[in-house]
Amino acid sequence: GLGSYRVTLTKEAVDHLATTSDGDARRALTALEIAVLSQTDRVAEGEEVVVDLETAVESIQRKAIQYEAKGDTHYDAISAMIKSIRGSDPDAAVYWLARMLEAGEDPRFIARRIVISAAEDIGNADPRALVVAQAAADATLMVGMPECRLPLAQAATYLSCVPKSNAAAKAIWAAAE
């Protein structure tokens, strides 16, 4: 344990450990212990041990995102992003977008799903949603990675924040039966 040490963390170190541990407290505490113990040879007994951003970065490695391009996590992640849009949660929508892109998902796949969400979930409650989604899809094709993250994030947050209506989707599905 760290009970015998006087430990101080900078705000940047705390933020980094919180972000990279992805909500896993054990992982954050293990990284903190590594950060402190890596400095004990430079700090006299009883002195304060300061964990700054550089030390925090060195003490924790980014968690490899478990992601299968064609497996369950592929569909689970896109489903989570779409459900976040439907649930009007822009932060969650961008989280899932970033997670997929970081894992190497094809941004064109994500763009297609954003266009579908605009038509299916927002529909005529805000007809501009489809225009925004299509513009993001076009921009994705034009600029590629990593820049396409911006229009995709813009579209995901826009769709998350507008009123929703699936009346057009329900109508076409009913007519097709």
Q: pLDDT at position 67, please?
A: 60
Q: pLDDT at position 64, please?
A: 47
pLDDT at 129 over 70: yes
CATH number at residue 54: 1.10.8.60
In whole angstroms, what is the distance from residue 115 CA to residue 85 CA?
Answer: 12
Q: Are residues 116 and 158 in the same domain?
A: yes
Task: At 90, give phi and psi (nearest 5°).
Answer: -65, -35
- Structural domains in the chain (count): 2
pLDDT at 82 over 70: yes
Cα-based distances in Å from 30 to 12, 38, 78, 139, 168: 17, 12, 31, 42, 51
116 falls within a domain = yes
**pTM of the entire structure?**
0.64
Give 128 or 5, the one with higher predicted confidence: 128
Q: Are residues 81 and 165 in the same domain?
A: yes
Q: Are residues 94 and 149 in the same domain?
A: yes
What is the domain extent for residue 44? Answer: 6-59
Q: pLDDT at position 107, please?
A: 96
